Amino acid sequence: MSSGSLALKSETENGSLTAERVETKHLVPPERLPELLQRLSSHSWAHPFTGESAHPGGARYMVTSVYFDTPSRAYFLAARQNASNNLKLRLREYSEVQEPSSALVTEPTVLPPPEPWLWLELKQREGSITSKRRIRVARANAACRFVRGRAVEALSRAQEQGQEQRGIKALLLQLKEADEPLEPSVLVSYRRQSFQADEGQLRVTIDRDVAYHRLPASLTHWAKPLVRSALGAAVGAEPRAVVEIKRRGSLPSWLDRVLLEVGAPAISFSKFVAANEAVHGAR
């Protein structure tokens, strides 16, 4: 692959994490979060975050997502109007989080991401079923703007060189079908803690300190890590913890009971929609 092209690689490890699954979201008040964490920690979990697709911090990490949209905000409008049937395209970065080592330090330390790549993800929801496909993009070669034609060209080259795997074809077709160019629109950052059962049948993620940002000037080259200190002041935030339940089977009765006890029934919520309303307004 030439030095000017994108370096793309499909995700092959932990495939069950991105397969079709039922996904629900819950908002937990800060005062009830310790109880939820204690109840979750009392159960046995496995964290197979190994290999190329592993997150830097294992089960605890910082996430920064750059969401794409068209000039007319077609993806945002579709997601707001129909929470059960929509599509999202995002570029995501993971950073390691070091928990406080002293009672005098209350905030965790976020380290710059050690990996030289980002993840380009396509997430689709149809009714109660969601699916996620993603490809790895080398940071050094990432284009400053994923306009439709440029992304399609890069993905086409990857196909020609035999690198097409699960997800790349679907992403390529989706970009080709777009009537407008896709551009970076909003940015969301948060601290995530994950609990995962064996074989990816059940995963619980807890997102704290969810903040919405305008696109920083540093985004013009994608060369620098998208750590929160480089993102500027947030224009909005979600004070509650965003809990996502991702499952491929039935919801365990104990988990259903715990969510109700902490006052967190399943609701319709989208970080992408909330970020858009904070950055660009509701229209």
CA angle, 238 as apex, 242 and 31 as ends, to 5°?
65
**pLDDT at res. 126:** 84
Q: Is residue 15 part of a domain?
A: yes
Q: Are 242 and 269 in contact (CB under 8 A)?
A: yes
CA angle, 32 as apex, 42 and 18 as ends, to 5°?
60
213, pLDDT greater than 60:
yes
**pLDDT > 70: percent of the chain:** 64
**pLDDT at res. 187:** 94
Average predicted confidence (pLDDT) for the chain = 75
Q: Is residue 3 part of a domain?
A: no
Res. 239 pLDDT band, cuts 50 70 90: very high
- Structure tokens that stand for 56 in this block: 């830097």
Single pTM value for the model: 0.80
Closest by CA to 74, choosing from 149, 229, 178, is 178
Res. 12 pLDDT band, cuts 50 70 90: very low
Round to whole Å and give the CA distance between 211 and 147. 25
Res. 254 pLDDT band, cuts 50 70 90: very high
Q: Is residue 1 part of a domain?
A: no
**pLDDT > 90: percent of the chain:** 31
- Structure tokens that stand for 34 in this block: 């310790």
**pLDDT at res. 214:** 93
Q: Quick one: which H or E segment has residue 139? A: none
**pLDDT at res. 16:** 46
Q: How far is CA 7 from CA 3, 20, 220, 239, in A?
A: 9, 26, 18, 37
- Residues paired with residue 64 on neighbouring β-strands, in sequence order: 93, 189
272, pLDDT greater than 90:
yes
75 SS3 class: helix
Query: Pairing relation of β-strands 241-247 and 236-238?
Result: unpaired
How many H-runs (helices) and E-runs (strands) does the chain carry? 6, 11
**CATH code of the domain covering residue 160:** 3.20.100.30
Q: Higher-confidence residue: 215 or 279?
A: 279
Q: Is residue 107 part of a domain?
A: yes
Domain count, the chain: 1
150 SS3 class: helix
Lowest-confidence pick of 65-79, 109-123, 243-257: 109-123
- Structure tokens that stand for 277 in this block: 């309303």
Query: Pairing relation of β-strands 109-110 and 117-126?
Result: unpaired
Closest by CA to 145, choosing from 55, 221, 37, is 221
pLDDT tens per residue across span 58-112: 578 889 999 988 889 988 999 999 887 888 888 888 887 655 554 444 455 555 5
Q: Is residue 112 part of a domain?
A: yes
20, pLDDT greater than 70:
yes
Q: Is residue 96 part of a domain?
A: yes
Q: Higher-confidence residue: 283 or 214?
A: 214
Which structural domain range is residue 141 located in? 8-279
Q: Are 152 and 172 in contact (CB under 8 A)?
A: yes
Q: Is residue 30 part of a domain?
A: yes
